[in-house]
Chains A and B, each alone.
Chain A
Amino acid sequence: MRYSPHAAALLCSVMATAALAADLSVTVSDASGSPIQGAVVMASAPGQAPEASAKAVSIDQMNREFVPFLSVVPVGTRIAFPNSDNIRHHVYSFSEAKRFEIPLYAGDATAPEILVDQAGVIALGCNVHDWMRAYVVVSDTPHTAQSDERGRVLLTVPAGEYTLRVWHPSVRDDEAGMSVPITVPDAGLEKSLSLADQPRWRAWRAPSAFEEDY
């Protein structure tokens, strides 16, 4: 029986990859132990860069709010800001990951775009409507996901050493979120993380007498 050396090499490679892939299960909770849904969990290691989509990701402005409130994108993604409202918005960010300003504009026919070329968290605002807020988490790893209603995230990663980072928009920590080093063995790893219990203030939007008053 003859085996092709190419087929043998491919088989070895697939077996080796399968052997190295491990499950990384992360549970995110607050200080009281309640699960946190929607937390962004990123496991990064040197040499594991994500692939940016060729298509721009949209963050719309509808009914004077950014939609969606939270976006998770890989480094190198283009983000478009269509404006579906029939009024004008002035989008900006002061965040270190991306500082930009899109002066007053209306309509979504020519939605302005930005390129996010640095990992981090970008806080968005509108200079006309101060209550408008949104966040973009720019990830530098392909191993990124958001926690479910039980606060759980399941990532399949090659066994090895990682930096595990967690960020959630309504929990105040440092801007970069929580960061811990971990080692994922071949058998996988279950990790529980508790975020600091300091809720980030997000005021409810409502018609205010105050704004009429000055």
Chain B
Amino acid sequence: MTMATKTKGLRPFGPKPMPVRLLIGLCLLLITFSARAEWMDWRSGVGITVSEDNNVNIASRGRDKLSDESVQARVRIARRYALSGSQYSGAFLGAEADLSRREYNDFDGLSGWRGGATLSYQQKLGLGPTVPRLSLRASAHYEAPDDRYREHWDYRLSATGIFPLGPRVTALARGRLVEQQGQEWLTSSPQLSSNVFDQSRWELGGELRVRVQPWARLRVRAEYLDGEFDAFCGPGSAGRLNQVAGLSGVKAVAFDSVFNSCRWLVEGDGWRYETGLEFALSPSQALELHWIEHDIRVDTSQSYERRVFGLEWRYAL
């Protein structure tokens, strides 16, 4: 198998300008507000998630799909502040750091670390637990799988409206911008970029959270996704890579050593559905069963379905 080797024209591996500007803007906003901010509390916790993914390589056809199981351990710590003045403002700030390690059973190259920080601004429209809230969040995470070509930055900016509909039901509406800054992969087609993790997309959706029992809460979420996606694109031969590079709608292509296959970056849209059932075990422990389904259709006419089923245990420190 012969592959073209890219050694020139590599884009510097680092944050994209726009997410960086957004993050700097939010930081400046927080610093401006911080003169009036009073700390409220720390929130920290750990979690372990066991997941089964039926399409870990994100293939279109059933015979190409590969499934795998993974275990993820996560730790997070958050500091929260309230903006005060002569009167209650309802404005809260948050700064959070988190670090996680995920281990896959079969595909070691996907295993790796993820760490980063999140800044948030929340406006409560009144006092008490049942008033609407608006929330802005900006996060920057670095993902470092063992397959180093998969290393990338992940930036997210989201705006969420939270609307309690009673003591048991809460509705949410959210818009989110996801930007990923990947890097050029070693082997690709000479005709096209190999940076399949250089992605950008919008996610718009709604969610309903229903407390079905005092000790159990159900959430149902649907999100429309529009933007760029990476996916399996056939066998990992040079001929296939060159063939794919010539297709309309393909923005990047590379040889994926984890699956010995072709991987491409294409535009598309679709839906993500998510259901979770959370069980309260104690004030400091909870279990959650969740199910996530992706249904994406891309410009090259393929569609991708992916289902992830997981069980998470959380402990608040």
> Is the Cβ of B168 less than 8 Å from the Cβ of A201?
yes
One digit per residue, 1 when the CB lies within 8 angstroms of any chain B CB and 0 when it does not, for chain A 184-210 equals: 000000000000000001111111111
Please choose the segment from B50-58, B259-267, B275-283 that sits at the chain A interface, where 4 or more of its residues have CB less than 8 A away. Answer: B275-283
Name the A residues within 8 Å of B41 (CB-CB). 87-88, 128-129
> Is the Cβ of B284 less than 8 Å from the Cβ of A207?
yes
Interface membership of B12, Cβ < 8 A: no
Q: Which of B76, B88, B174, B209 has the most CB of A within 10 A?
A: B88
> Is the Cβ of A208 less than 8 Å from the Cβ of B278?
yes
Q: Give, as a whole number of angstroms, the nearest-CB distance from B33 to chain A.
A: 15
> Is the Cβ of A205 less than 8 Å from the Cβ of B280?
yes
Name the B residues within 8 Å of A94 (CB-CB). 127-128
Closest to A129 in B: B41
> Is the Cβ of B129 less than 8 Å from the Cβ of A130?
yes
Name the B residues within 8 Å of A209 (CB-CB). 276, 278, 288, 312, 314
Closest to B161 in A: A214
Q: Give, as a whole number of angstroms, the nearest-CB distance from B66 to chain A.
A: 27
> Is the Cβ of A127 less than 8 Å from the Cβ of B128?
yes
> Is the Cβ of B128 less than 8 Å from the Cβ of A92?
yes
Main DSSP-derived SS at the B contact region: strand
Name the B residues within 8 Å of A151 (CB-CB). none
From the candidates A65, A104, A129, A207, name the one contacting B285 in the complex (CB within 8 A): A207
Q: Give, as a whole number of angstroms, the nearest-CB distance from B150 to chain A.
A: 25
> Is the Cβ of B314 less than 8 Å from the Cβ of A214?
no
From the candidates A65, A103, A130, name the one contacting B84 in the complex (CB within 8 A): A103
Name the B residues within 8 Å of A92 (CB-CB). 127-128
Q: Give, as a whole number of angstroms, the nearest-CB distance from B120 to chain A.
A: 8
Q: Give, as a whole number of angstroms, the nearest-CB distance from A129 to chain B.
A: 8
Name the B residues within 8 Å of A128 (CB-CB). 40-41, 80, 82
Name the B residues within 8 Å of A211 (CB-CB). 43
Name the A residues within 8 Å of B76 (CB-CB). 212
From the candidates B39, B167, B219, name the one contacting A88 in the complex (CB within 8 A): B39
From the candidates A101, A129, A131, A204, name the one contacting B127 in the complex (CB within 8 A): A101
> Is the Cβ of B211 less than 8 Å from the Cβ of A206?
no
Measured in the bound complex, the distance between the Cα atoms of B96 and A214 in whole Å is 12
Interface membership of B160, Cβ < 8 A: yes
Name the A residues within 8 Å of B39 (CB-CB). 88
Tally of chain B residues near chain A (CB < 8 A) = 51
Q: Give, as a whole number of angstroms, the nearest-CB distance from A206 to chain B.
A: 3
Interface membership of B38, Cβ < 8 A: yes
Q: Give, as a whole number of angstroms, the nearest-CB distance from A134 to chain B.
A: 14
Measured in the bound complex, the distance between the Cα atoms of B80 and A92 in whole Å is 19
Name the B residues within 8 Å of A212 (CB-CB). 76, 78, 96
Closest to A210 in B: B209
One digit per residue, 1 when the CB lies within 8 angstroms of any chain B CB and 0 when it does not, for chain A 96-134 equals: 000001011000000000000000000001011111000
Interface membership of B113, Cβ < 8 A: no
Measured in the bound complex, the distance between the Cα atoms of B279 and A88 in whole Å is 27
Name the B residues within 8 Å of A206 (CB-CB). 278-286, 314, 316
One digit per residue, 1 when the CB lies within 8 angstroms of any chain A CB and 0 when it does not, for chain B 85-123 equals: 000100000001000000000000000000000001010
Q: Give, as a whole number of angstroms, the nearest-CB distance from A65 to chain B.
A: 8
Interface membership of A90, Cβ < 8 A: yes
Closest to A123 in B: B128
Interface membership of B162, Cβ < 8 A: yes
Measured in the bound complex, the distance between the Cα atoms of B39 and A63 in whole Å is 17
From the candidates B40, B158, B278, B312, name the one contacting A87 in the complex (CB within 8 A): B40
Name the A residues within 8 Å of B288 (CB-CB). 209
Measured in the bound complex, the distance between the Cα atoms of B214 and A87 in whole Å is 26
Name the A residues within 8 Å of B278 (CB-CB). 206, 208-210
Measured in the bound complex, the distance between the Cα atoms of B47 and A188 in whole Å is 60
Q: Give, as a whole number of angstroms, the nearest-CB distance from A112 to chain B.
A: 15
Q: Which of A92, A101, A205, A208 has the most CB of B within 10 A?
A: A208
Between A and B, 24 residue pairs with Cβ closer than 8 Å are A65-B283, A87-B41, A88-B38, A90-B82, A101-B88, A104-B40, A127-B88, A128-B82, A201-B168, A201-B214, A203-B217, A205-B283, A206-B278, A206-B282, A206-B283, A208-B314, A209-B278, A210-B209, A210-B219, A212-B96, A214-B120, A214-B122, A214-B135, A214-B158
Q: A90-B88, A210-B278, A214-B172 are in contact. List 18 more A-B contacts (CB 8 A).
A: A87-B42, A88-B38, A92-B128, A103-B88, A104-B82, A127-B88, A127-B128, A130-B128, A201-B167, A203-B211, A204-B214, A206-B281, A207-B45, A207-B315, A208-B278, A211-B43, A214-B137, A214-B158
